Structure 1
Amino acid sequence: MLYYRYYLKTTLVLLGLFILGSCGKKEQQAPPPLSAPFITITPKDVPIYKEFAGQTFGDLDIELTARVDGILTAIHFTEGQKVSKGQLLYSIDPLEYNTKVEQIKGQVASSQSALVNAEEELKRIKPLADMNAVSKRELDAAVARAKAAKSNLESVTATLKNQQLERSYCDIISPIDGVIGISNVRVGDYISRLGNNAKLNTVSRLSQVRVRFTISESEFLDYRKKVDLTAKKEQSNMELLLSDGSTHPYKGRLSLTDAKIDPTTGTMTIECIFPNPNNILRAGQFSKVRTMVENQHNAIAIPQKAVTEIQGIFQVLIIDKENKIQNRIVEVGQKVGKEWTILKGLQSGDRVAIVGSLMYQPGTVVTPVPYVEKENNTL
């Protein structure tokens, strides 16, 4: 009996210790509240930008076109490189035109001789006519021959100048300082003024470039209330976004706007100018022009990663006074950089949780932690 009582007491003590140990373990396994990065809403001025797809053009693009026919005998430049004003670019076989020039020079010489003879004859007859030694009729004939010889000389001289001009077209020179493109013809090709190969190349002045883009009629009516698009802007406040994602280092300015809306497309053409001192930009590039169209005062903007869209409904998670997560439906506005403007649903002082995990459900108690933006920040 004594042994039985001792065994029972020992068993009860061990059982009690086991229960107490189990309770301690359960208390230690209770997880602490999740940390929730947050920002406090503070209204601020938010510049609103608009991007437009555009295409670049040289400040001056001059197409080199053949003005005479003939065989292309030489190309005097390196494609894609800079050329200078007056530099010889192409040579067309001048033999035919040299021959014509020489022929006309012979006619000019003959006409000069005829004029000299006619004038000498007139000088000889005129004193005789004054003395009535020759008839008035002979004098009139001498005057007429002198005038005809002079007119003929002027005519062939003009023909010579025209022929020399045509001869000069065999040497095609650069009209400006610029960059020349890829040649459309090669040495040995027959060049024709009316053929498909009449267009030889293009020289572009690229010290600055023009960028043209279009806006819709509704965009024009909307933004004209905010920005005067019909007035030239001397300040440089436009940015050019290139196809590789980079931004052109020089800002541009508004150059011109079309005088009308194109009825076939319902759009209006806008042109702006960007400095291009290093010839980074070339004609024909596709890019985007970004310009500030409005500066919203006392606006609310939050990181885009804080906004969730479900079937067209936008919502954010906020942390209430009891440090619990709550859903809040909002109305969004423009995206500005990494932020999203909020038109309705938030107010100054609200704490917006910047979380991306499904563990943060409405009603979850969290530990608020001030959000710090980090490069390649992932949650």
Structure 2
Amino acid sequence: MQRSRIAFFVFSALVGSVALSGCDQVAEQPKASAPAATPVGVVTLNSQAITLKKELPGRVSAFQIAEIRPQVSGIVQSRLFEEGTQVEKGQALYQINPDIFEAELAASRAAVARAEASIASSKSKASRYKELLAIKAVSQQDFDEADAASKQASAELLTAQAQLKSAQINLDYSHVSSPISGQISKSSVTVGALVSAGQTSALATVTQLDPIYVDLTQSSNELTKLKRALASGALGVDSTTQTDVELIMEDGSVYPHKGTLQFSEVTVDPSTGSVTLRAKFPNPEKLLLPGMYVRAEVVEGVKSDAILAPQRGVSRNTKGEPTAMVVSKNNTVESRVLKVERTLGANWLVSEGLADGDQLIVEGLQKIRPGAPVTATAAQSSANNSQ
């Protein structure tokens, strides 16, 4: 019995010792510390003035086109140009047999001479009859007939002169000349061909290539937005470059000459919903040819307080909205929903969601979440925050 009591006291002492030891270990465990700040790379955003440009598709069209057609009928005697060469305004291109027109001109000249002789005689007779009528040596009827004959002779002279002019014009038209300066196409007729006045087929075509037009198309919706932005003052007008147009060729190269915007259509094409804008370009090297497809950059205006955010710092949420992570004033992560307008190089043009001075996180995005503490440093490979 005595041994059982001793064993019980020993067991109780051991259990108490273990319990005290466990309490000591619990007391010795350190309290949980606050999460450490995550280092991130940021780009400090600055508002700036940028010139906004819009890229539009377009087609090249000739500045002037003249289809050469004969004004008189006859046989082509000669072709006076080399196909594919440059011709000048007024230069003779074809010679139609002029014999019949020269004969008509000679006959018209004779008719004029005859009318001039007749008018001299009739005027003299009418003058004499007027004097005789005063002394009643002739009747009133005789005078009236002489006066009418004089007036008729004057009218016949006018008719003969008109016919002479018409004959001269027809003779001139036998020399088929170019109405404009430009490059001429191949000839559709040869020497000996019979041509007629007003025929539907052209003898050749002259195309003026310098300067040259580029017809651009812009959606009516974009044009409306641009007009509203200009009217509200969101975009300023740069008078020095507002009408400047830069051209990008089919192979991606930049056309060496700048063009100027001439006008825009006042109606919308119902089949495409677009408006046509026409620009004029110098084309001394003849690089632009009618029918070519090109792209043009047109100046829309100047945005004075633009915010450009690097594309690598902008992502999309589950709703498809553009979002960005920025460093708040208390050095924690803040998520922003953005409204972006367009891309400019490697940047987004942001209209809502970011402001001047914001620190946009572009590095370490995979390690952070909204509300987490961060340590911000300038991004090592940050893109220049400009267009």
Aligned residues: 321
Report what 1:260 is aligned to.
267
TM-score normalised per structure 2: 0.65
1:151: how far off? Answer: 0.8
Residue in structure 2 matched with residue 179 of structure 1 by the alignment: 182
Question: Given the alignment of the two structures, is residue 224 of structure 1 paired with residue 234 of structure 2, yes or no?
Answer: no
Q: Is the 8 A contact 1:53 1:288 kept in 2?
A: yes
1:202 alignment counterpart? 206
What are structure 1's unaligned runs of at least 5 residues? 1-37, 321-327, 354-359, 374-379
Rg: which structure is higher?
2
Cross-structure match for 1:75? 79
Indicate if the aligned counterparts of 1:232 and 1:255 stay in contact, CA closer than 8 A. Answer: no
Q: 1: distance between equivalents of 2:222 and 2:79?
A: 48
Cα deviation 1:161-192 (Å, max 9, x = unaligned): 1222122222233334x322314523234333
* Structure 1 residue 69 displacement after superposition: 2.5
On the 8 A contact 1:233/1:253 being kept in 2, the answer is no
Match of 1:300 among 295, 308, 320: 308
Q: Work out the CA distance in 2 between the residues paired with 1:81 and 1:51.
A: 35
What letter corresponds to residue 119 of structure 1 in structure 2? K
Query: Is residue 252 of structure 2 the alignment partner of residue 245 of structure 1?
Result: yes
Residues of 2 paired with 1:155 and 1:201: CA distance? 37
Matched residue, 2:174: 170
Query: Does 2:160 correspond to 1:152?
Result: no
Shift of 1:248: 2.1
Instruction: Output aligned runs, 1:47-126, within 5 Å.
Output: 47-126=51-130
- For the residue of structure 2 that corresponds to 1:197, the secondary structure is coil
Q: Distance in 2 between matches of 1:350 and 1:39?
A: 5
Q: CA deviation at 1:78?
A: 3.5
SS class of match (2:222):
helix
Structure 2: 5+ residue stretches without partners: 1-40, 328-335, 368-377
Moved more, 53-62 or 98-107: 53-62
Q: Which runs of 4+ in 1 moved over 6 A?
A: 231-234, 306-318, 328-332, 342-347
Task: Report SS of the residue matched to 2:310.
Answer: strand
> What secondary structure, in the 3-state scheme, does the structure 1 residue paired with 2:156 have?
helix
Distance 1:121 1:163 in 2: 32
Moved more, 138-147 or 90-99: 90-99
SS of corresponding position for 1:152: helix
One-letter amino acid matched to 1:256: F
Q: TM-score, normalised by structure 1?
A: 0.66
* Residue 60 (structure 1) shift: 4.2
> Measured at CA, do residues 166 and 312 of structure 1 come closer, stay the same or move farther in structure 2, by a change above 3 Å?
farther
CA displacement 1:347-377 (0-9 Å, x = unmatched): 9544536xxxxxx9956xxxx994399xxxx
In structure 2, distance between residues paired with 1:164 and 1:219: 57
